[in-house]
Chain A
Amino acid sequence: MFKFLFDRDTWQEVFDSLSKNKLRSALTMVGVWWGILLLIGLLGSARGLENSFNRLFGDFATNSVFFMGSTTSMPFKGFQEGRRVQLKIPDIKKVEENVEGIEFVVPRNMNLGTVNRNLLSGTFNVFGDFPTLDEVQKKKLIHGRFINQNDIDNRKKVAVISKNIYEQLFEKDEQAVGTRIEINNISYMVIGLFDVGNVNFGPSEDVHIPFTTFQQVYNQGDKIGFMMITGKPEYDITQIQKDTELILKNLNNVHPEDTRGFRSFNLGKEFGKITGFLTGMQFLTWFVGIATLIAGVFAIGNILLITVKERTKEIGVRRALGATPFEIKRQIVVEAVFLTLVAGILGIITGGWILILLDHFFGQGDDAAIVNASVSIGVVFIALIILVILGSLIGLIPAFKATSIKPIEALREE
């Protein structure tokens, strides 16, 4: 049935009739060419945006949730409402043991501190942290290292500082790691310098000191400022959030239906909003691209219909010479498919060039808006298959039109 596709004559016929009117054939192809160019260009850009978002958020464990104590709004078990709830170290272990799907529970403390170095000083957020923080929120270290277990065990007076502090308290090109700074008049050794990411949730992080050191220096006892919980990838973070909240309420004598006892912030949910936006954009891209493509294919059908009208006499002659209606239809359909395919391939090539240009102008550097704008080969194949199918369907209209005229009427036409 498809043997004719490998026949040189079929293509000779198609080539002859298309090259007979080059301008018209070229104009016919513009619609489809434009459609597929848009599709490739938009899909590639959407992918580039997604990549750039992923790069921005790459430092965070996105399936995580923050918890901090707040004030109750309902009386419970003899406690009055308006009580301040305070998270404590033992809560950590309970949460780790009882909530399913937890990967890390990272307790944190935070305080404002005055940081001095020589004659320069400033007020910054000081955090008491465990080494596990680096697991849930990757620090971009420029020099040195993050807090380790040894620092925790020995309550060392060491600090990891942000580039922000470095720029305010240090001279340009000065070596920070190994020098000493004072936080609230206590001397700390700088062991690491980190760069702040482009995206931040919560207060800016300026100085990290060991959690145990923080406990001692600020006389915190068992208190925890807030905790960060990350779930294993296969678990739903919203469920983990619910389970954790229930356990914490139980441990701290908060009414199960009290919505105020703890405050929490679900990073996974926030992140989901952004990825949802990206998915929406991809959907829109497909929609616009395919719609334009269909419009383009219709344009091809339209012009072929006019062509058929113009070629009525030629078709009559061919039929007088022994062409069967099927052969006439087949030729017109092959012409339609050939036009759509060539236009499609040209569109894919020019779309690729556009992505290369986008990458060249907007895709360079660390804070590029579009990262690695590209489409997968699979998408290209799907687009081509769609084109072949649409092309043959649309070709059927002029094909049937061509053979609906009797050869005698076709020949009579002047």
Chain B
Amino acid sequence: MLKINQLHKSYPIGDSSLHVLKGIDLTVDEGEMVAIMGSSGSGKSTLLNIIGMLDEADEGEYILDGLPIKNLTEKKAAVYRNKFLGFIFQSFNLINYKTALENVALPLYYQGMKRKERLEKALFHLEKVGLANWSHHLPKELSGGQKQRVAIARALAANPKLLLADEPTGALDTKTSYDIMAFIQQLNDEGKTILMVTHEEDIANMCKRIVRLRDGVIMEDKKVEQVRAEQYV
């Protein structure tokens, strides 16, 4: 599904440069649920951004679903992001003047899907996250948990191969966090490959595999016994 070989990335800071990723090797198979952990500055977000094609590596190989991701034009990157990836952000990043339904339909709009078809499909995904009744509400009328559900529905709308979540529970209280995690686990049960960045141990333990980063290298990569979130809900 995803194969990374000797990935390097550094950022220029003034005259010198900061070496953030120092040779990462990572392979993720289909259906896996991986937590990337590490203190701030460990390079976990940079790694996720590179995987999400929002950023480009300086060196190394990145193959997504058999497709080498290298020297993409902005346009091509946009098409790949739309086709292969679903993003879930810590701060939800819903467009605040669009209703829940329209937010979910947005990736489909950029696929060029017809309005009617797109809204039907978006409604189907909203139903799946249990928010069909809230489809015509604006983000400001929704609670934090509901917003993240809308964001998940949006990430799922284009039926991506890989879900990328950057601290998906970072802005939520514990109860809502477990609620969201239960849902993400359910998606994984259905076969979606999920990669998430978190720094919370309890959240990481709800994944099937934990990759720990420190100072730009992988310290530890282990499979764990998945803690089901439902039991806390």
Contact = CB atoms under 8 A, between A and B. Distances in A.
Interface of A: 8-9, 16-17, 19-20, 313-314, 316-327, 403, 406-408, 411, 414
B126 interface: no
Interface in B150-175: 154, 158
A314 B89 CA distance: 13
A320 to B, nearest CB: 5
Contacts, number: 66
Contact of A314 (B74, B81, B95, B102): B95
B54 A327 contact: no
Given A327-B110, A408-B54, A321 B97 contact: no
Contacts of A19: 97
Interface of B: 49, 52, 54-55, 74-75, 78-79, 81-83, 87, 89, 91, 93, 95-98, 102, 106-107, 109-111, 115, 154, 158
A321 B49 contact: no
> Which 7 pairs of residues, A with B, have the shortest CB-CB distance?
A322-B82, A20-B97, A322-B110, A408-B54, A324-B78, A321-B107, A317-B93
Contacts of A316: 93
A322 to B, nearest CB: 2
B54 A411 contact: yes
Contacts of B107: 321-322
A256 to B, nearest CB: 81
9 contacts: A16-B98, A20-B97, A317-B95, A320-B93, A321-B87, A323-B110, A324-B74, A327-B110, A406-B54
A17 B93 contact: no
Contact of A325 (B52, B78, B82, B98): B78
A319 B82 CA distance: 9
Interface centre among B55, B74, B79 (most CB of A within 10 A): B74
A326 B154 contact: no
A406 B52 CA distance: 13
Main SS class of interface, B? helix
A318 to B, nearest CB: 7
Nearest to B49: A408
B111 A322 contact: yes
A322 B82 CA distance: 4
B134 to A, nearest CB: 18
A316 B97 CA distance: 16
Contact of B93 (A313, A323, A325, A406): A313
Nearest to A325: B74
B19 to A, nearest CB: 18
Main SS class of interface, A? helix
Contact of A326 (B75, B83, B98, B106): B75
Given A9-B115, A321-B154, A324-B75, A408 B55 contact: yes
Contact of B89 (A16, A326, A406, A411): A411
Contacts of A314: 95
Contacts of B111: 322
Contacts of B52: 320
A317 B150 CA distance: 14
Given A313-B93, A411-B93, A403 B87 contact: no
A325 B158 contact: no
A322 B81 contact: yes
Contacts of B78: 319, 322-325
B9 to A, nearest CB: 12
A411 B107 CA distance: 16
Nearest to B154: A321
B39 to A, nearest CB: 18
A408 to B, nearest CB: 4
A320 B95 contact: no
A213 B154 CA distance: 103
Nearest to B81: A322
B24 to A, nearest CB: 18
A321 B98 contact: no
Contact of A16 (B97, B115, B158): B97
Nearest to B52: A320
A403 B95 CA distance: 18
Contacts of A411: 54, 89, 93
A411 B52 CA distance: 12
Given A318-B106, A321-B106, A326-B75, A8 B115 contact: yes
B85 to A, nearest CB: 8
Contacts of B154: 321
A316 B83 CA distance: 17
Nearest to A403: B74
B79 to A, nearest CB: 7
A317 B104 CA distance: 12
B87 A320 contact: yes
Given A323-B78, A325-B74, A327-B110, 15 more contacts: A8-B115, A17-B97, A19-B97, A20-B96, A20-B97, A317-B89, A318-B95, A320-B54, A321-B82, A321-B106, A321-B110, A326-B75, A406-B55, A408-B55, A411-B89
Contacts of A403: 74
Contacts of B102: 16
A313 B87 CA distance: 14
